[in-house]
Amino acid sequence: PSDVRADEDGKQPTVIAHRGASAYAPENTLAAVDKAAELGIDWVENDVQRTKDGELVVLHDDNLRRTTDVEEVFPDRAPWKVRDFTSAEIARLDAGSWFGHAYADARVPTLKQYVRRVEVHHQKLLLEIKNPDLYPGIEGQALKVLGNEGWLDRRHLAGRLIVQSFNAASVRAVHELKPGVKTGFLGTPPVADLSAYAAFADQINPSYGSLSKGYVSAVHAFTGPHGRPLEVFTWTVDTAATARLVAGYGVDGVITNKPDVVRAALRGF
C-alpha cells in the first residue's frame, strides 16, 4: 500500500538472495548466485564451513547429507560432517540433483570460487560464518580469502561486503581483525544489550518472527562501530505480505529465498 513507507527515510529495503536465489536453484551453489544475477538481484547471502584440509567451502549444514549425494559416494563415512572430508572429496559430490536433475553438475563451491562468481556479476556479499565453534580461527581465514580475492579494498569495504554470524564472539573477532569490514550479528538481543553489540556490529539481523516496529526503531537509535546507525536485515521472508509487513517496521534489508517476489512486493514503497 502506498500509505506505508519502507522506513523512516523512505528508502526501500535492500533485497538479499538467501543462499543465492535458493527457491529457484540449489542453495549456496554458483547456480544460485547466477540465478540471483539473472533476476537482477545484487546482494547474495551464503554460509561458510571448513573442510578437513582447511579449505573454506560454501554450505549451510555442518554435514553434507541434505544437499549432496555424499551418502552414495562415500557410504561408509557417516555422519558425513564437512570437517571430516577433504576439499578434493567434496569437489566430487553432486550438490544439485537433490534440487532438480538440471543441476546435476552443481558442486559445493569453495569460498574462493564463490566470491569470484559474485564478483563476475558485480554483486555484493553477505557472508555468514557458520558454526565457528567447530572451526577455530575461521574468521581470520575467511578474511584472508576475501583479502586475496580483492574483497578488502576500499571499493568492497564501502558497501559490497558484510560478514555476519549467530556467534557474537565470531562477529567481534571479524571486527577486531579487520575493523574496516562491516559486520552483522544474527539474533534479537534485548534492547538493554544493544550498546554492547554496537561496539563491534553494524547490523542486528533478527528472524522476522521476533521483530516489531519498536524493536527496529530501538536498534536504529544506536550508533555502530563505523559511526552510522545500526541497521536491521531480517530473514527469511518469502511472501509479499511479510515483506510489506517488515518494510513497514522500517527494516534496512530483507533476506529471502524468493528475491523476485520480495522485490515486486516492495516496489512502490
* Residue 231 interacting partner from ligand G3P, Ca ion, none (CB closer than 5 to 8 Å by kind): none
What's the closest the beta carbon of residue 99 comes to ligand G3P, in angstroms? Answer: 16
> Which listed residue (215, 235, 249, 269) binds ligand G3P by CB under 6 A?
235
The residue ranges of DSSP E strands in the chain, in sequence order, are 14-17, 43-50, 56-58, 124-129, 161-165, 182-186, 203-205, 233-234, 253-256
Is there a catalytic annotation at residue 60?
yes
Q: Which three cell numbers stand for residue 143?
A: 578474511
Per-position DSSP letters for 102-158, written without gaps between them:
GGTT----BHHHHHHHHHHTT-EEEEEE--GGGSTTHHHHHHHHHHHTTTTSHHHHT
Number of residues that bind ligand G3P (CB under 6 A): 9
> Which listed residue (128, 139, 202, 252) binds ligand G3P by CB under 6 A?
128
Q: Identify residues 34-53 at the interface with Ca ion (CB under 5 A).
A: 47
Is there a catalytic annotation at residue 18?
yes
How far from 6 is each of 206, 229, 239, 252, CA to CA, in Å? Answer: 17, 17, 16, 8
47 binds ligand G3P per the rule CB under 6 A: yes
Question: How far is 11 from 260, CA to CA, in rounded Å?
Answer: 18
45 binds ligand G3P per the rule CB under 6 A: yes
Choices 127-135, 152-160, 176-184, 243-251 (CB under 5 A): range interacting with Ca ion = 127-135
128 binds Ca ion per the rule CB under 5 A: yes
Positions in the binding site for ligand G3P (CB under 6 A): 18, 45, 47, 60, 128, 186, 235-236, 255
Positions in the binding site for Ca ion (CB under 5 A): 47, 128
